[in-house]
Copies of this chain bind each other. A is one copy, B any other.
């Protein structure tokens, strides 16, 4: 198959590596000529260009660009696509992308391969990045079944675990397990730094250990990614934050009112529930 990849960052580059290694022809578009040359020289792709016309021959095109670039890129890309080309993306939020792209290209299948690592860029691209990782597809009622099956087959060929759901359920799920943790973890760091008693703050910094390290980890990550989550998944992130604030309020009340048995029950329940996520 001829597979087009628009955007040669971590995800686009890693997709190219794996898909080319199993025999597909990879045509890639990058904004930067230098990236195109590098991708060809490293045999990551068969051909690369800064010109979207390279996508004319592709059977399927993966949009591997930031969420904020999808709208304008699709507008420029569509005139160059063949009628039967299947278009898919790799964005980490699906509702807004599907709303933007589906009305303009029927053969569009929203996708989210969940294999982020801390690094970014083509330099960071890795083979086998998607093995045993979730790959979520979010078709809607008007999506042709054949298009969904095509992308699902490719995802399975990467040895990903393929899931299908509607875009809103995807966005709610990632709000819980990915976006909400960033916001509450960042809030932990910000709250500690606001300690007015400098002896206590200094001591906290010296005593911090694995509990603080783990709970604060995702709050110390890439700020642009955090803003992207909030911006493109605003509704689900706010929904999760409001629900979360209620839980914090309940814990505060239980401690203020010294309802220790209720607090014990709550913590016993969370200990019991956590393994369902892992």
Which residues on A are within 8 Å of B, measured CB to CB?
114, 134, 136, 161, 163, 165-166, 168-170, 172-174, 176-178, 180-195, 197, 199-201, 203-209, 211-224, 226-227, 230-231, 234, 237-238, 240-249, 251-252, 254-256, 258, 260, 263-271, 273-278
Contact = CB atoms under 8 A, between A and B. Distances in A.
A177 B211 contact: yes
Q: Which of A193, A204, A243 has the most CB of B within 10 A?
A: A204
A235 to B, nearest CB: 10
A177 B212 contact: yes
Nearest to A185: B215
Contact of A248 (B169, B223, B244, B273): B244
Given A170-B203, A204-B177, A274 B241 contact: no
Given A180-B191, A188-B244, A207 B114 contact: yes
Contacts of A199: 165-166, 169
A205 B260 contact: no
Nearest to A265: B223
A270 B215 contact: no
Contacts of A248: 183-184, 187, 241, 244-245, 248
Interface of A is mostly: helix
B218 A214 contact: yes
A220 B187 contact: no
Contacts of A187: 184, 244, 247-248, 251
B238 A256 contact: yes
Contact of A277 (B192, B255, B269): B192
A201 B236 CA distance: 13
B251 A241 contact: yes
B173 A204 contact: yes
Most chain B CB within 10 A, of A163, A174, A207, A263, is at A207
Contact of A211 (B205, B209, B218, B251): B218
Contacts of A219: 267, 270, 274
Nearest to A267: B223
Given A223-B264, A223-B267, A169 B189 contact: no
Nearest to A225: B267
Contact of A227 (B177, B188, B201, B267): B267
A136 B243 contact: no
